[in-house]
Amino acid sequence: MRQLVLGGVRSGKSRYAEQLAKSFNLPVTYIATARAGDEEMLVRIQQHQAYRPADWATLELPDQTLPERLAGLMQQPRVILLDCLTLWLTQLLCAAPLSDDLLQEVDKVLDALVAVVAAGGQAELIMVGNETGLGIMPIDSLSRAFGDRAGLLHQRLAEVCERVVFAVAGIPLTVKAGC
């Protein structure tokens, strides 16, 4: 099964996804996409690490190699917990100065990720992302490029996932319930 868990900052989405991953009683591979760009982010990452069970394998994939690595993992009977799609997208967009070429390259990587998820496999896949489309229209071009791509990525993934959950105030709300 492919699942997408969305929510705002501190909505409980990661905690919910981690509990869901434990419920399968299969080996878990945690794909971490965050980079610690400052001390506060380092603390956040450490909190996530401390909460995860010690027997979970962790892969750090904060770059464009994510789709290819995920494709291989999907062929194994296990749980894959990918946290967080929007941090990953941010890093792709900030890898170089904003330009049409960068946006085209990012779009290709997003297309590759959607294709891998759509193809499925033996693994139980749980993806976590920040819902960013509930605010105002951003004033700068980088923020607009991010918002556009995050929203479209979430829509495309929700279409191919069997289940979509939206976390609000620590409460998971099922938006799409599939097989």
Tally of domains in the chain: 1
How many CB atoms sit inside 10 A of residue 159's CB? 13
Pairwise CA distance, residues 178 & 1, whole Å? 9
To the nearest 10°, the Cα dihedral for 31, 177, 155, 58?
A: 0
- The enclosing H or E element of 135 equals none
Looking at residue 131, its pLDDT comes to 94
- Position 12 pLDDT exceeds 90: yes
Q: Which domain holds residue 121?
A: 2-177
Phi, psi of 165 (to 5 degrees): -125, 140
Q: What is the pLDDT of residues 48-68, one digit of tens each?
A: 888 889 999 999 999 999 999
Listed residue (114, 67, 70, 64) closest to 94, CA to CA: 64
Residue that is written with structure tokens 């990953």 in the block: 88
Percent of the chain with pLDDT over 90: 84
- Residue by residue, what is the 3-state secondary structure of 93-115? HCCCCCCHHHHHHHHHHHHHHHH
Looking at residue 179, its pLDDT comes to 60
Q: What is the pLDDT of residues 143-161, one digit of tens each?
A: 999 999 999 999 999 999 9
- Position 13 pLDDT exceeds 70: yes
Residues annotated catalytic, as ranges: 48
| Residue 124 region by backbone torsions, left for phi larger than 0, else alpha for psi between -120 and 50, else beta | beta
DSSP SS3 for 74: coil
Q: What is the pLDDT of residues 77-135, one digit of tens each?
A: 999 999 999 999 999 999 999 999 999 999 999 999 999 999 999 999 999 999 988 87
Listed residue (117, 125, 68, 113) closest to 86, CA to CA: 113
Residue 149 belongs to a domain with what CATH number?
Answer: 3.40.50.300
- Position 29 pLDDT exceeds 70: yes
**Helical axes 141-160 vs 85-93, angle rounded to 10°:** 140
What's the pLDDT band for 137 if we cut at 50, 70, 90?
A: confident
Listed residue (77, 135, 88) closest to 113, CA to CA: 88
Looking at residue 18, its pLDDT comes to 95
What's the pLDDT band for 138 if we cut at 50, 70, 90?
A: confident
Pairwise CA distance, residues 131 & 24, whole Å? 25
Looking at residue 50, its pLDDT comes to 86
Phi, psi of 133 (to 5 degrees): -90, 15
